[in-house]
Chains A and B, each alone.
Chain A
Amino acid sequence: MTALAWLIPVALGLGALGLAAFLWALKTGQFEDLEGASYRALEDEPPGDETGRN
């Protein structure tokens, strides 16, 4: 039974980690343009080249 003492916090912690990751992704606008993101994945140029000024 003592195993529960750390299993439950770990289970809850992992769940909370997933929740935090989702909220972070939402906050940083990663769900704002799902359609565009599917095309950006096909871009060959590295994201650092975004400026187009080279």
Chain B
Amino acid sequence: MTAHPTDLAKQAANAAPATLTLAVEDMHCGGCLRSVERAAMRVPGVDSARASLAAKRLTVTYDPAQAGEVALIEALGRVGFTASLMDSAKQDRGDGRQNYLLRRVAVAGFAAMNIMLLSVAVWSGESGDMDPALAALFRWLSALIALPTVVYAGAPFFSSAYAALKGRRLNMDVPISLAIVLATGMSLYQTMLNTEQVYFDAAVTLLFFLLVGRYLDETLRVRARGEAQNLLSLQNGIATVIDPDGMRRQVAANALRPGDRLLVAAGERVAADGRVVSGRGQIDQSLITGETAPASVETGTQIYAGTLNLTRSLEMDVTAADDATLLAEISRLMLAAEQGKARYRRLADRAAQIYAPAVHGLGLATFIGWLAFGATWQTALTYAIAVLIITCPCALALAVPAVQIAAASRLFKRGIMVKAPDGLERIAEIDTVVFDKTGTLTLGKPQLIESECISDDVLASAAGLAAASRHPYSRALVAVAERRLGAVQPTSGIEETPGEGLSCGDERLGSAEWCGVETGDARGSRVWYRRGKEAPVCFRFADGLRPDAAETVAELKRRGFGVALLSGDRQAVVAQVAAEAGIDTWHAEMKPAGKIAWLEERAKEGRKVLMAGDGLNDAPALAAAHASISPASAADISQRAADFVFQGAKLGPVAEAIDTGRRAHRMAFQNFGVAAVYNAICVPLAMAGYVTPLIAAIVMSSSSILVTLNAARLAGGGRR
């Protein structure tokens, strides 16, 4: 990316089309796909727009002289999609590697099938009347197909094995490469001598099955990585800058500098840290503090990037932007905590450490043993190759990824996304579940309570007013009215006075003061409605438990998990929620560092903790826990830190994730068991020289299929 300035100028003059990628949230169906593409195409200067449902991204080519990311993000915003620019450095989902493997799977598959066809002819004509010249021709044809295939399709294994050997380590790819190279080289030599011990089929079939395993593993990684990048880019919004001369212009949030003056419209997220210089209103700070009640701000108040401006537009001076914001700082803290998790060694890697030396040892022992007993070096080598192929670590190369793919797709159908590939292994080991309160155990959104005391008539009128506002209380009110009365149409002619309330004719909805109600109770969680001189009606709001919270906690306890509640909220509130959910162990008024300390204490006691949390304040704890899960409503950063993200209002997915993790773990061990039994039977036979490499390859393949079918059982069961 170091184009010379004159080159750039030349490009601009020629109006060379530029390409950018946007992450688009909430794109779930074919209809969304079309709306997104159409909205982007309507922006002047856009040449083409192509959305991907799988990646939740939109790729646009446009004329940089006419269009830009700001215009595109705004156009998508108008049709109801939140889009954000992908950093060009971060937009690689790594599907290049996926395609690299898929190409090799295709080539190896083609070669394996054709060589197998030729081999079947040769082997079946072996004892009969097949013309030896024809058999030789078939062997040479096999060689012709096999050699380029091994060079091309074997590259991923060879390069990995070479890198491992260079670092003086052993990995699974070393025995794999050795087996493939030896089998191919040996077969070529035998073909030249025109003998029967030719095993190109074994080498290429082996390669094909191993590549399928690699490809499945990579698919899961790509999906997880893509989702993580989309979440990360959500911080890259656009912001309105007011220049000193009063002109307003739109810039990308990561181009803001301290000292810029920003206009934050109602309903917009604040793009940088700063101080309010004019205007007063309310902002939703739940992303930073986890507190759901909106906070009032006025001139001089410090506000943070990522908070949501609820009521009226504010002007602010930027004090810190881009990488210097509190949001970015917390993100860095979290990354540091994540380093600890990197120490976790995956099951397959741990197995490889024991397996690889054993395989080499057995292969070498077979070769030397047969030489010692007076066999020719060709025979000894053939038997050694059979041992290497028989012991080929398919259970490790294929079984574990197959189980993980099956488990991930099972969870995906139930609204749970697996973000860390090794998360499934870690969640299987946990014995304690720790919940955060706001947004995790509770819904994190104010709910209208005691709504049954309010008459339909009053509710309908109040909801008609509330429909015009985006205040959380208004939304909760409309939600209840829609549940009870059907669709709510906003009353026409509504005026909103930000921070106070709504009015329409003689109807008023808002604070006690706004409705002229005398009340001694100044607590903020209530809204009043008054029509003319009629008696005012009070709507009360509270943050409710998730509908199945108590049930899920009881279920977890029944299965013998320790359950605890950690919250930053006040003692009384936490005690009440703990009692409602049936949690005996709870701690209130905890800071993020306190949560980490608590988790570390548990870790010292030898307990493995699953942390379920959502707020930004939970992010470091999520990263520090043995495994973690976040609701989809959580702060972006928490979702990034978590191993799992679940959707919907229910808490049941937490139990589901643990359950599936444990089943996947059991199944991985079953698969290791299958592999162990098969090795125990076949390895002695191979060492004794009863197994030719062809039979070895067929037996090995069938054990792979067995193991994959076993894993597929996990993916069963429909959508819930």
Contact = CB atoms under 8 A, between A and B. Distances in A.
Contact of A32 (B41, B52, B113): B52
Nearest to A34: B54
B663 interface: no
Contacts of B131: 1
Given A33-B54, A42-B30, 20 more contacts: A4-B134, A8-B141, A11-B117, A15-B114, A18-B110, A19-B106, A31-B102, A32-B54, A32-B55, A32-B95, A33-B52, A33-B53, A34-B54, A35-B54, A36-B30, A36-B33, A38-B30, A40-B30, A50-B48, A53-B42
A22 B54 CA distance: 20
A1 B29 CA distance: 57
A26 B103 CA distance: 8
Given A1-B134, A18-B110, A53-B42, A36 B51 contact: yes
Nearest to A8: B141
A52 B75 CA distance: 14
Interface of B is mostly: helix
Interface string B61-100: 0000000000000000000000000000000000100010
Contacts of A32: 52, 54-55, 95
Nearest to B109: A19
Contact of A26 (B34, B102, B110): B102
A35 B99 CA distance: 17
Nearest to A33: B52
B38 A52 contact: yes
Contacts of A22: 106
Contacts of A53: 41-42
Given A33-B52, A39-B53, A53-B41, A26 B106 contact: yes
A27 to B, nearest CB: 8
A38 B33 CA distance: 11
A40 B34 CA distance: 9
A51 to B, nearest CB: 6
B12 to A, nearest CB: 24
A19 B41 CA distance: 35
Interface of A is mostly: helix
Contacts of A35: 53-54
6 contacts: A8-B141, A12-B145, A18-B110, A31-B102, A32-B52, A53-B42
Contact of A33 (B34, B48, B55, B134): B55
Contacts of B600: none
A10 interface: no
A4 B135 CA distance: 12
Contacts of B517: none
Interface string B135-179: 000000100010000000000000000000000000000000000
Contacts of B103: 23, 26
Interface in B10-48: 29-30, 33-34, 37-38, 41-42, 48
B41 A39 contact: no
A26 B99 contact: yes
Contacts of A42: 30
Contacts of B113: 15
